[in-house]
Structure 1
């Protein structure tokens, strides 16, 4: 998953759903596979992030590996995403994804855009069929005093992955749109709210992008 031979000391971390992708993978999957109502019930139930992640994974039980790839293939990426990733890499940035989706989905997007890593939950498959079980990597959880106090948070993974590449936190650029990006955006050296679907994200971001383009990110990178 990680290319540890890279020597750059800067990093750009992107959220995937409604950021790199113009829609949410799990909501699109729900529409395609017929579990929209069940997904809405889980979202409204007030579960912890960990329990919500497990219950959503159960909705995918019986889904085929390739079937889920067809879903993500159907979702358009932001038009200039690949070009902006190339420009960031020319500037010396390691580029990757941190998402609460699933690794086989984030890896598809990573490869499509020429990125360096992706970090997400691991959906379990028996052969090519989803079992409904999910493995949540320990690095989404707090690792030390001073990390985010949430039981499950992208900022914890951000600290881990930046450490893996020997990148200082002040040299991390983080881009996201939603409520689960708030800690990551606020704790990164430079945080960008990208067409925020959770408006309080704009309040903690260093920069706000309100157009469906990553070009403005190059101005602050």
Structure 2
């Protein structure tokens, strides 16, 4: 459904908030875009990993294995709600994993389950010519595995430091802040010769807000409360394939763009 709100006499922010609430209430998702944003063809889709492309939070699961679940989960919760800086939170959480054998990461990797619709979505995106990426503050041990499984073009993630077959409680990598996620997206866009306005970002937590708001379209997938307030596209369904309704380039989208052009000429 496309609605022209140009003649509605109300505060735009209030209107968008109400539209998002009702859209999620009535269906599986909603995207509120202005005309120019809607008409801009999207060419790249970047996904968060944990809680978005996969159903688990890998760091929390490692903490559970190592018996430090309570400590790590509390910091994770604070980070996702924006109450603590991402780099500080990540550093603290990883430190609790010192001594964990690498074999446990291998066991957990085998238990990873993709979010419903993820495999079909990536397949459809690739078929339609989209560039795909995983940009996560999580770890390459899991991100590369998922990326290879799905055939994703780019994977940006941090790396757990291992010594003598065990985690040292430290990590290396540049995805240590919300801004770093955006910088990774900008790097990919530059390589591919496209603009940020042609990019779509999908995520669920506070550390995704920067990249979601700076992309051509930012989609909150089953998002935390803070994210829900900040972005104009939401998916409340488990099925990631809902994204295609927002960014697909089918006849319905083309018809809507034609109607918008005709209206402008009136």
Compute the TM-score of the two structures, normalised by the length of structure 1: 0.82
- The 5-angstrom pairing of residues 122-201 of structure 1 reads 122-137=159-174, 153-196=180-223, 198-201=224-227
**What is the CA deviation profile of residues 94-125 of structure 1, one whole-angstrom value per residue up to 9, with x for unaligned ones?**
11111111111111111122211211111111
The aligned residue for residue 230 of structure 2 is: 204
Shift of 1:52: 2.0
Give the match's secondary structure for 1:200.
helix
- Count the aligned residue pairs: 202
Shift of 1:48: 3.2
The aligned residue for residue 76 of structure 1 is: 113
Judged with a 3 Å threshold, the aligned counterparts in structure 2 of structure 1 residues 47 and 177 are, in CA distance, closer, same or farther, namely closer
Structure of larger gyration radius: 2
Shift of 1:178: 1.0
Structure 2 residue runs of 5 or longer lacking an equivalent are 1-41, 248-266
The aligned residue for residue 139 of structure 2 is: 102
Give the match's secondary structure for 1:19.
coil
Shift of 1:18: 0.8
Q: Distance in 2 between matches of 1:204 and 1:51?
A: 23
Compute the TM-score of the two structures, normalised by the length of structure 2: 0.69
> Which of 14, 23, 26 is 2:47 aligned to?
14
Give the match's secondary structure for 2:105.
helix
Q: Distance in 1 between matches of 2:213 and 2:125?
A: 21
Shift of 1:14: 0.5
**What is the CA deviation profile of residues 50-91 of structure 1, one whole-angstrom value per residue up to 9, with x for unaligned ones?**
222222222222223332132133132112211110100111
Indicate conservation of the 8 Å contact 1:140/1:156, yes or no.
Answer: no
**What is the CA deviation profile of residues 178-221 of structure 1, one whole-angstrom value per residue up to 9, with x for unaligned ones?**
1111111111111111111x123223323211111111111222
Q: Distance in 2 between matches of 1:136 and 1:119?
A: 9
| RMSD value, Cα | 2.2
Judged with a 3 Å threshold, the aligned counterparts in structure 2 of structure 1 residues 66 and 110 are, in CA distance, closer, same or farther, namely farther
Q: Distance in 2 between matches of 1:211 and 1:161?
A: 28
Does structure 1 residue 92 correspond to structure 2 residue 129?
yes
Does structure 1 residue 33 correspond to structure 2 residue 63?
no
Shift of 1:33: 2.1
Shift of 1:42: 4.0
